[in-house]
Structures are given as structure tokens and as C-alpha cells.
Amino acid sequence: MTKKYRAQLGLFGSLLLCFSGVYRLIMEYPVIEFIPALFAVSGFIGILGGIFEIRKINKKENNDKLLENN
């Protein structure tokens, strides 16, 4: 399993977590609103982290390709 694949898998999981939290906040009448809000916030933080990780990996791959061509 490559780093890029792990980052993409983590990003997908964070998206699911965030969307499920937002869905529970909007659609259902939550008895405890803390849990869906926690899901939404933690999923959003994971999305940001996944995006930054994938961007970092892509930059490294592009730099490696440039070095190979020179």
C-alpha cells in the first residue's frame, strides 16, 4: 500500500465521517447534538489533513520527475 493510496483512503473515510455527522445534525432530531457535531468537525479536520497530505505527495512526485528528466 503506497502513501498516496493511504492518504486517499483516509480522505474518503474523513468525507464519510463528516457527511454522516452533518446529515445527522440536519435530518434527525438528535437527543445529544454533541456526537454528530463531533463527527462533522473531526471529519472536516481529516479532510483538510488528507488534502494537504495528497498535495505534499504530488509535489514530491513532480519534483522527482523533474530531477529524472534533467
DSSP characters for 27-46? HS--S-SHHHHHHHHHHHHH
pTM over 0.85: no
Give the SS3 label for residue 15: helix
Q: How far apart are CA 52 and CA 30, in angstroms?
A: 32
Instruction: Find the distance separating the first CA and the last CA of the chain, reported in whole Å.
Output: 29
Instruction: Output the pLDDT for position 33.
Output: 80
Q: What is the rounded CA–CA span in Å between residue 53 and residue 57?
A: 6
pLDDT tens-digit map of 23-69:
988 887 767 788 888 999 999 999 999 999 999 999 998 888 877 77
pLDDT in tens, 13-24: 999 999 999 998
